[in-house]
Amino acid sequence: MFDLPNLAGRAANLWRYQESLGINDSKNYVSFGEGPTPLTPYQLNGREVLLKLDYLRPTGSFKDRGTAVMISKLKEWGVAEVIDDSSGNAGASVAAYAAAAGIRAEIFIPAYTSLGKATQIRAYGATLIKIHGGREDTAEAAWAAAARSFYASHNWSPYFLAGMKTMAYEIAEQLNWKAPDWVVVPVGGGSLIVGLWQGFLDLRACGYVTKMPRLVAVQSENCAPIYEAWKAGRQSVHCVQKRQTAAEGIAISDPIRAKQILQAIQNSAGISHIVSDDEVWYSLKLLASKGVYIEPTSAAAIGACSTLLSSGVIGHRDIVVIPLTGFGLKATDKIVEHCSDTWREPEK
Ligand X SMILES: *Cc1c(COP(=O)(O)O)cnc(C)c1O
Which of 191, 220, 222, 272 lies at the binding interface for ligand X (CB under 6 A)? 191
Of the two residues 110 and 208, which places its CB atom closer to ligand X in the complex? 110
Of the two residues 63 and 165, which places its CB atom closer to ligand X in the complex? 63
Of the two residues 208 and 248, which places its CB atom closer to ligand X in the complex? 248
Question: Using an 8 Å Cβ cutoff, are 247 and 280 in contact?
Answer: yes
Which of the stretches 21-29, 75-83, 188-196, 311-319 binds ligand X when contact is defined by CB under 6 A?
188-196
Which of 91, 190, 199, 225 lies at the binding interface for ligand X (CB under 6 A)? 190
Binding of ligand X by 188 (CB under 6 A): yes
Binding of ligand X by 250 (CB under 6 A): yes
Nearest to 334 by CA among 306, 295, 298: 295
Contacts for 141 with CB less than 8 Å, ≥ 6 apart: 85, 108, 129, 131
Which of 172, 192, 209, 226 lies at the binding interface for ligand X (CB under 6 A)? 192
Closest chain position to ligand X (CB)? 326
Interaction pattern, residues 13-52, with ligand X; x per rule: CB under 6 A? ----------------------------------------
Total chain residues near ligand X (CB under 6 A) = 18
Nearest to 108 by CA among 67, 60, 145, 155: 145
- Provide, rounded to whole angstroms, the least separation between the CB of residue 324 and ligand X: 9
- Exposure string for 2-25, b = 16+ CB within 10 A, e = fewer: beeeeeeeeeebbbbbbebbebee
Binding of ligand X by 189 (CB under 6 A): yes
Which of 61, 67, 166, 306 lies at the binding interface for ligand X (CB under 6 A)? 61
Of the two residues 279 and 295, which places its CB atom closer to ligand X in the complex? 295
Which of 134, 163, 186, 199 lies at the binding interface for ligand X (CB under 6 A)? 186
Contact positions vs ligand X (CB under 6 A):
61, 63, 89-90, 186-192, 249-250, 295, 297-298, 325-326
